[in-house]
């Protein structure tokens, strides 16, 4: 499905005040994973209190042992420090990569900003080499901005 066509659905989920924040975040993960065929694991990581680490939030996909990620470690930890999008076309070419599954071939991580501060990120793994384009980045920036509005 075209990413642009998912925007109204994302808006609808975020606006649903009958659900808790975590329920809405999980629903966003479910929509992305089920509607974009190369999004094989979709989850949120958030800064863990005052610690320099990320804590896994709602996600959809294979279970992961990586529920806590130190800042600077792996792709997610690097985004926590750089405050910039990180697209990895081929995870096997990355030195500082934390393998969640042997099936993962590529990853995209987009930070979430609240009041100009990086408080978390959306992390998407794909079992396809190099599927992410600038359209994915722009769409996921939109998703992160909408998510930020409820945090």
Euclidean distance between CA atoms 75 and 55, whole angstroms:
14
For residue 1, the model assigns a pLDDT of 60
Q: Is the pLDDT of residue 99 over 70?
A: no
pLDDT in tens, 1-40: 689 999 999 999 999 999 999 999 999 999 999 999 999 9
Locus of tokens 């794909």: 126
What CATH number has the domain spanning 3-148?
3.30.450.40
Alpha helices by DSSP H, listed for 16-120, are 21-35, 74-82
For residue 94, the model assigns a pLDDT of 78
Q: In which band, very low, low, confident or very high, does the pLDDT at 143 lie, cut at 50, 70 and 90?
A: very high
Average pLDDT over residues 108-119: 97
**Average per-residue pLDDT for the chain:** 94
For 93, the token pair is: 């070419």
Euclidean distance between CA atoms 136 and 83, whole angstroms:
17
Query: What does pTM read for this prediction?
Result: 0.95
Euclidean distance between CA atoms 52 and 32, whole angstroms:
28
Q: Is the pLDDT of residue 56 over 80?
A: yes
- Under a CB-based contact definition with an 8 Å cutoff, are residues 122 and 110 in contact? yes
For residue 59, the model assigns a pLDDT of 97
């Amino acid at each position: 499905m075209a990413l642009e066509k998912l925007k109204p659905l994302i808006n609808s989920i975020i606006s649903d005040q009958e659900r808790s924040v975590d329920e809405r975040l999980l629903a966003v993960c479910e929509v992305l994973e089920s509607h974009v065929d190369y999004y094989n694991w979709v989850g949120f990581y958030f800064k863990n209190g005052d610690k320099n680490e990320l804590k896994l939030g709602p996600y959809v996909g294979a279970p992961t042992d990586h529920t806590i990620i130190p800042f600077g470690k792996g792709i997610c930890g690097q985004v926590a420090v750089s405050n910039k999008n990180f697209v990895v076309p081929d995870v096997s070419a990355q030195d500082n990569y934390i393998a969640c599954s042997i099936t993962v071939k590529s990853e995209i991580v987009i930070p979430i900003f609240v009041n100009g501060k990086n408080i978390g990120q959306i992390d998407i793994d794909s079992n396809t080499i190099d599927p992410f384009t600038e359209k994915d980045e722009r769409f996921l920036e939109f998703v992160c901005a909408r998510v930020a509005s409820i945090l």
